Structure 1
């Protein structure tokens, strides 16, 4: 590969900027078109801000945990403090500042390796040309390879229009300068569950409206049950089997907004100070010139790609949430890297979703990898399962942890580790040894015979594997 190969990337999120780094490393001339800032929505308004907010709420929860462990907080006069208070304006300023700093770091790295960044909106003119619309006009960028990585945007409904003040999407939360008195979260999927618990931890009254039997309906049932029990135990009102019909802003006689009302399909009305809509997302594939170029999309509007990120048009690739493959930043980044390796002739392995580890940043977190219990049953596989409560772990006892578990799935006969679930604080870190086992098809004896620190939470992973010996 030589420097005459031109790569144009539309979208600077994880799929786009990771692809740019790979393409530059392989010697291509790389131009990246991004209208909002490097890192895209993931860094600026979605993943990075939300996880920063959640980390802040975790510190608040740590105050309550410390009290239970015998640690007491005193003011300057020696009086005991029983509570902490979140000043949301300060919290949000830090959240947005951190997101901006991360975006600048990404931009700096891209510039270091020679990537040209064009601030603006990119659109396909043909399979070899991207038109960039910038503040100073338009520029047509010739390309040998094009990657589309334009992400997704929050889904809104005609009966619940966000106004950015009282009715909010998850991208608008960080403009609030005060903690909502009563936040109604509509939607109990990953985003709804994470942010509902974050605001509960920060001190708001929270009602979670869930249209399903339980929160996190797409996750491991045992894990979802633990999280819902934690929600209720900590004071959250969870309305199961309750579907929103509409959400409106309530105003006083002078027209001043005083709150919101969420009307459910069964006629009940839930009143609060603010509403957060977490009812899914839509791919940002409009106004990209897809139809004119002949790029196939699904009924949902996602760009159709194969396992090496190719679209239906030769030389045009796509990565990330605009493809609908799996809405994770790690998957978007991998799709982008795979796309450039394939397009530029480097060694490449097709995307393998069976090895993807995922995490839900509730408290405790839920981390998963490999086959789920639902998939195992659907395939009729002969699998042994162990579920080890975290409360039996000595390190967990020391830290005052009572909720959570380690669950492993292993094939009968071979003992091959097929999947796992970890529900624990920092489960996102604890899932890594299970991910290694799934990826490299280790058996339970190999996992069990690996040394773990004593005492440590990872000890429960080894113990769970030992319990599956001779399956």
Structure 2
């Protein structure tokens, strides 16, 4: 029987384990942090649960426009909506723990052996696990999958203390509501937390070293988001690079490189991630690491060492749970001789869970403007959508890209409520190489937000 040893129980690891077990392999997962990894325990599941609460707060704050008002028990108008952050975070952590237990049960049910400990390679086909309960165990495998994830990046001048200077993994221990929150970093993580806490009614200052928030996302989408954040009261400091973060009692001071100082009660550091690849025997086993310590992999998740695969954030390919899971599945299918479709990054959907959400798939407008593809585009504001009007939605758009000549849909952007759901038809079109006319020809419900996807596709029609 083929043997697979997997280092790490996050999406790349546990999804790979399920595939390998289904294909008849003997599977061992060595995990130290809890099944589900950071995606379930400290990142995706907790942050999106927090954001779900923030969405309710945001919806309530806009209820008056829809004719809904609130009153207290005495009959007077309720004037303030408050969040109980301790209860919110307790629910967040409980949901994460429940999800981790569900994954554990499924793996055990499917015959996967789970070893609690930290694993390291001892050559390409051998793993030594330092067990949580003490001692070591040597585990032999015909293939090893490295899915050890990544950790929040910190700087010597900005060290978290877990109380008022926090990484995004530490925010769920907060029991008091910050009186003034500073978020350093305007990438996806920083923007999501800044938006969430703003919608929870907390004053937020966002420190961005770039000229706009979300510098890696669609420029039109980032502009919409930044306009909304500023309109809702956020202070956005553009082109402002952090030099240091210090705490004095209950006051946190962020010093910028130009000498300015920003003070608040709490600070979240969103400075990117570093891969968990040091000290686990990778280079000694012949595994090539890229700049920054990320593991080099090809499109079927192979590393440079025979029989060693890698998946997830430790590869730095696209730091998404969906990509990690796909890399892990592909690795085990390749190892066990099943049908394999190499990883296709052009078909990956991603979403920024801000308010409004920003969802993307396929080629970007920046790539088109750089001449990487000859494509035309259309951008349709959601403000004209009848369902959006009914729901009081004013911000957002649908943008589609299609090849000149063939009309094949090659990418798209959706900005608006539940954009993560609305991007799916565009993702199908990109993956299956559908034309704009084919996308437009699918019936949509009236009225619906998805009607704007079909309408944008109709506007890309060119008479034959």
Task: Report the TM-score, using the length of structure 2 for normalisation.
Answer: 0.99
Q: Matched residue of 1:159: which SS?
A: coil
1:121 offset after TM fit, Å? Answer: 0.2
Moved more, 273-282 or 287-296: 287-296
Asked if 1:350 is matched to 2:337, the reply is no
Asked if 1:287 is matched to 2:279, the reply is yes
- Kept in 2: contact 1:64–1:83 (CA 8 A): no
Q: Deviations over 1:236-258 (max 9, x none)?
A: 000000000001001xxxxxx21
Picking from 428, 444, 459, the partner of 1:436 is 428
Counterpart-to-counterpart distance in 2, 1:468 and 1:46: 38
Counterpart-to-counterpart distance in 2, 1:72 and 1:224: 32
State the aligned residue count. 462
Picking from 134, 137, 143, the partner of 1:136 is 134
Q: Deviations over 1:128-151 (max 9, x none)?
A: 110111123110001011100000
Asked if 1:87 is matched to 2:79, the reply is no
Q: Could you say which residue in structure 2 is the equivalent of 1:182? A: 180
Q: Matched residue of 1:147: which SS?
A: strand
Asked if 1:212 is matched to 2:204, the reply is no
Asked if 1:107 is matched to 2:104, the reply is yes
Asked if 1:327 is matched to 2:346, the reply is no
Asked if 1:424 is matched to 2:416, the reply is yes
1:74 offset after TM fit, Å? Answer: 1.7
**Structure 1 segment 216-365 matched on structure 2, within 5 A:** 216-250=214-248, 257-365=249-357
Ranges in structure 2 where 5+ consecutive residues have no aligned partner: none
Q: Could you say which residue in structure 2 is the equivalent of 1:40? A: 37
Counterpart-to-counterpart distance in 1, 2:375 and 2:154: 41
Counterpart-to-counterpart distance in 2, 1:108 and 1:462: 42
Moved more, 61-70 or 299-308: 61-70
Counterpart-to-counterpart distance in 2, 1:82 and 1:95: 27
Q: Could you say which residue in structure 2 is the equivalent of 1:464? A: 456
Q: Matched residue of 1:139: which SS?
A: strand
Runs of 4+ in structure 1 off by over 6 angstroms are none
1:392 offset after TM fit, Å? Answer: 0.2
1:411 offset after TM fit, Å? Answer: 1.1
Counterpart-to-counterpart distance in 1, 2:181 and 2:401: 38
Counterpart-to-counterpart distance in 2, 1:284 and 1:365: 29
Asked if 1:375 is matched to 2:358, the reply is no
Q: Could you say which residue in structure 2 is the equivalent of 1:254? A: none
Counterpart-to-counterpart distance in 2, 1:299 and 1:54: 33
Picking from 142, 150, 153, the partner of 2:151 is 153
Picking from 199, 207, 214, the partner of 1:201 is 199
Task: Report the TM-score, using the length of structure 1 for normalisation.
Answer: 0.97
Q: Matched residue of 1:322: which SS?
A: helix
1:380 offset after TM fit, Å? Answer: 4.8
Counterpart-to-counterpart distance in 2, 1:5 and 1:368: 39
Q: Could you say which residue in structure 2 is the equivalent of 1:253? A: none
Ranges in structure 1 where 5+ consecutive residues have no aligned partner: 251-256
Counterpart-to-counterpart distance in 1, 2:220 and 2:341: 34
1:82 offset after TM fit, Å? Answer: 2.7
Moved more, 441-450 or 69-78: 69-78
- Kept in 2: contact 1:413–1:470 (CA 8 A): no
- Kept in 2: contact 1:63–1:83 (CA 8 A): no
